């Protein structure tokens, strides 16, 4: 038995050496083979890399074929998942940047309830043009004071009117006199947040003047209009809900 094993092992290694030599010869022949019409292989092509240690499974078989025992090949690992593509629908739902807020008037022009000692009856509106205040007279010698914007120089006026009509989110048709001064203005603008008349309008008799809201609250307390009385939208809504058609309006 010892002699058989001594004979078998050298013979097996010899056969393996011959087999590897024949394989290398065939590989060299295949590398130099020229197929008609295809030309020789490119000179820049690198030779086939030798299998890395462990690439053939490791152990005795790899030792026979490569002369290296190597390590067993680790199990294949799953490739990391590619990051999900951005969802355009979700991206479109991202909140927009906060809108720019118009500067508010100073505190003196904010709505206050104050004492009133004048002669006008409750429900009357008194507009103090020089000081940019509108007063709604209340019972018991009280009044609500609102800050307003008034006519710029050359457009001031005074007198007594009545509220002839009330409108929510009114449309605006510039009067002919204004169109002559500003031919760039539209002939009509539907009501809405961008309308110069704002959220509410109180029409003064048959005149072209109104008490109305504005989308420019920073103009409250200034001489800016063409004769109309401007109020902040929240203030004109409050006034609109308190007064009735036919109420007296005194502009001083």
Query: CA-CA distances (angstroms) from residue 94 to 84, 85, 88, 159, 179?
Result: 18, 16, 10, 53, 42
C-alpha torsion sign, points 113, 117, 122, 124: negative
Say if CB 200 and CB 240 are below 8 A apart.
Answer: yes
Count other C-beta atoms under 10 Å from residue 97's C-beta. 6
Closest C-alpha to 212, from 170, 151, 243, 155:
170
Q: Give Dmax over CA atoms of the chain in angstroms.
A: 140
**Which H or E run contains 167?**
strand 159-168
Is residue 112 part of the annotated active site? The answer reads: no
- Structure tokens of 236? 């004109």
Strand pairing partners for 143? 114, 137
Count other C-beta atoms under 10 Å from residue 29's C-beta. 9
- Please, is 45 exposed, middle or buried when counting C-beta atoms within 10 Å of its C-beta (0-12, 13-18, 19+)? exposed
| Phi, psi dihedral angles at 9 (to 5 degrees) | -65, -50
Count other C-beta atoms under 10 Å from residue 209's C-beta. 22
Residues annotated catalytic, as ranges: 212, 228
């Amino acid at each position: 038995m010892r002699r058989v094993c001594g004979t078998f092992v050298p013979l097996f290694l010899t056969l393996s050496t011959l087999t590897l030599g024949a394989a290398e010869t065939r590989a060299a022949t295949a590398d130099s083979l020229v197929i008609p019409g295809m030309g020789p292989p490119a000179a820049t092509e690198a030779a086939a890399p030798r299998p890395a240690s462990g690439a053939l499974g490791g152990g005795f078989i790899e030792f026979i074929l490569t002369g290296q025992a190597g390590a067993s090949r680790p199990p294949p690992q799953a490739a990391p998942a590619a990051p999900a593509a951005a969802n355009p629908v979700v991206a479109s739902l991202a909140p927009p940047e906060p809108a720019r807020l118009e500067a508010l008037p100073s505190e003196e022009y904010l709505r206050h309830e104050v004492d009133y000692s004048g002669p006008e009856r409750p429900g009357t509106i008194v507009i103090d043009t020089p000081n940019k205040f509108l007063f709604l007279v209340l019972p018991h010698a009280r009044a609500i004071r609102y800050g307003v914007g008034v006519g710029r120089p050359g457009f001031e006026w005074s007198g007594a009117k009545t509220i002839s009509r009330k409108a929510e989110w009114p449309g605006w048709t510039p009067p002919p006199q204004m169109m002559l001064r500003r031919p760039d203005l539209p002939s009509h603008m539907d009501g809405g947040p961008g309308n110069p008349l704002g959220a509410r309008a109180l029409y003064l008799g048959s005149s072209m003047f109104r008490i109305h809201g504005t989308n420019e609250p920073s103009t409250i307390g200034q001489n800016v209009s063409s004769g109309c009385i401007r109020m902040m939208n929240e203030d004109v809504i409050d006034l609109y809900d308190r007064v009735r058609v036919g109420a007296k309006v005194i502009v001083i």
